[in-house]
Structure 1
Amino acid sequence: MAKATKKQALGRGLSALLKDPDNDIQSVQDKDADKVIGNIIELDLDFIEVNPFQPRTNFSEESLQELATSIKELGIIQPITVRKLGFNKYQLVSGERRFRASKLIGLETIPAYVRIANDQESLEMALVENIQRQDLDPIEIALSYQRLIDEIQLTQEQLSERVGKKRSTITNYLRLLKLDPIIQTGMRDGFISMGHGRALIAIEDQASQLDIYEKVLENELSVRATENLIRNFNTSKEVQVPSKESTVETPKYIKKGVSVFSEYFGHKIDVKVSKNGKGKITIPFHSEEDFNRIKKLIQGAK
């Protein structure tokens, strides 16, 4: 009778299997492991803990709220990835923004791709998978590369193969970590781009580097203007800020329309106008979910 009861319990489906401590799956060799490991299943958010190896440390409250709104409208488009730690205990490998945003809107479950990995494998998985994402800032990517080199003991050549990037690309990111921490923070907060950062590396003296950084912010210099400023500085050792490029005053009809666009799309819309009256509208997005939300809005307006 005991055998029959156990067999019947296993036959109740995946939901029952996940709630059965007597048949908890701990390895790929366990019975019914193929129903859980390597599959996408609905997991209770309460069963998932955040990953201490997460390379991302910056989570914008505004972008999280935007993602939460997108999830509320469209659902979770891309499942998170977790590793199984024990019975009803999982740890995030990737997808912390989706995890946090889902909690914000009160979801109880989330689709998750389940894997089994030890701590080192989990670290490597988290770093490599997150590096592939488009929403990490340059410093987060550089720190992830450095952690893979230091903690997984990878050479730059091996790292290049793991993440599918040229070795020169990896080197360029790692060099950003030589910048003054204030400049690194400015890059993480979006005040300057990676192009600005790469140009500033050419200034060896830290005080001069910070001085030029302040001039870049103060005068809103482009990457090209920053490169010229640094080139002149290395020649003359004086910071000579170029005159600002002539700008075209934004017409009133555009100023009025931009606020309407911004409200509709839920983002600050950027509009550039040339002297001949032609222009360009830029709609920013912060994630795949956010992009699909915007696409849905555009399609619905047809």
Structure 2
Amino acid sequence: MAKATKKQALGRGLSALLKDPSNDIQSAKDKNADQIVGNVVDLPLESIEMNPFQPRTSFNEEHLRELASSIKELGVIQPITVRKKGFGKYELVSGERRCRASKLLSLETIPAYVRIANDQESLEMALVENIQRQDLDPIEIALSYQRLIEEIDLTQEQMSERVGKSRSAIANYLRLLKLDPIIQTGMRDNFISMGHGRALINVADLDKQLEIYQKIISENLSVRETEKLVKELKEVPLSRKREPKKAPVPEFVTQSTSRLNDVLDTKVSNKMSKSGKGKLIIDYDSLAEFERIVKLIDAK
């Protein structure tokens, strides 16, 4: 009799199991968990809460309407992923656009993979799944990487294995977060590309970053032109840095140099270091001019 009851319970289907309070599954070890976890079930949309860990912060309304139109014609082709939160309650792990589009159509149910996961696992799944999407902007990806490092405590090497990206690629995304917030917003709004952003990272001064950013937009600069501009900007301070600091020249030295200009009837300049050491430079245009100056000096 007991065996018959068990068979009957399993034969009622996944939806029936989920509606039965006696089969409230909380872990992968619970009875009938293997019938639910990892399977696709049609869940009521009203029973699904949005994911508080969702990395994406903005949704394009026009794109949502386009997705809704596709779902109306073909249905939800790729199931969403949810985790159980309690009896009859689920939390979205991935697929928020599909959920939103389905609600636009006033659908009652949506196909979903059911998972058992804690908060940390849910966050990691949401972030990793989100990074794989093709329509994310570079800043959204960078923020997802940062959250995996800070909140999941992943190293760049571990993250590389999970998302299938090289460590250098991950590092390049993370460096974008050093840009001025205005520039980050410009990248999210497609005013500039990731290539522009990577060039601007090399400018440490945030005011200079913004100055070049405005120039990129106003003059429609390419990435290569931006890289050249940044390179020129970096080279100017370096050349200035190499110039030795000039020591203040005493008044009597300036006056004496001026008298030599008059006596020799040519330009005479004086260079002096902080220690007082220096040199006089006497200009001449030709050998004949040189001989004339030497004769004047000998005569004195």
TM-score under structure 1 length normalisation:
0.74
How big is each residue's C-alpha offset from its partner over 1:148-196, in whole Å with a ceiling of 9 and x where there is no partner? 1111111112211221111000100000000000010111111111111
Give the equivalent residue in structure 2 for 1:86.
Answer: 86
Give the equivalent residue in structure 2 for 1:98.
Answer: 98
Distance 1:163 1:85 in 2: 26
- Report % sequence identity: 76
Distance 1:73 1:214 in 2: 44
Alignment of 1:159 onto 2:159: yes
TM-score under structure 2 length normalisation:
0.75
Structure of higher RCO (CA pairs closer than 8 Å, 6+ residues apart): 1
Task: Report the number of matched residues.
Answer: 237
- Which runs of no fewer than 5 residues in structure 1 stay unpaired? 238-302
Give the equivalent residue in structure 1 for 2:62.
Answer: 62
Report the secondary structure of 1:184's partner residue.
helix
Counterpart residue identity of residue 160, structure 2: S
Give the equivalent residue in structure 1 for 2:13.
Answer: 13
Report the secondary structure of 2:41's partner residue.
strand
Give the equivalent residue in structure 2 for 1:203.
Answer: 203
Give the equivalent residue in structure 1 for 2:185.
Answer: 185
Distance 2:7 2:52 in 1: 38
RMSD of the TM alignment (CA)? 1.9
Give the equivalent residue in structure 1 for 2:298.
Answer: none
Matches within 5 A, 1:275-294: none
Distance 1:83 1:203 in 2: 44
Counterpart residue identity of residue 14, structure 1: L
Give the equivalent residue in structure 1 for 2:44.
Answer: 44
| CA distance 1:199–1:159, change in 2 (3 Å) | same
Moved beyond 6 Å, runs of 4+: 1-7
Matches within 5 A, 1:96-245: 96-236=96-236
CA contact (8 A) 2:15 2:41 kept: no
Report the secondary structure of 1:38's partner residue.
coil
Report the secondary structure of 2:92's partner residue.
strand
Distance 1:6 1:115 in 2: 23
Report the secondary structure of 2:202's partner residue.
coil
Shift of 1:9: 5.0
Distance 2:130 2:205 in 1: 33
Report the secondary structure of 1:42's partner residue.
strand
How big is each residue's C-alpha offset from its partner over 1:254-287, in whole Å with a ceiling of 9 and x where there is no partner? xxxxxxxxxxxxxxxxxxxxxxxxxxxxxxxxxx
How big is each residue's C-alpha offset from its partner over 1:106-149, in whole Å with a ceiling of 9 and x where there is no partner? 11111111110111111111111111111111111101111111
Distance 1:147 1:139 in 2: 12
Larger radius of gyration: 2
Report the secondary structure of 2:190's partner residue.
coil
Distance 1:190 1:83 in 2: 34
Distance 1:13 1:98 in 2: 25
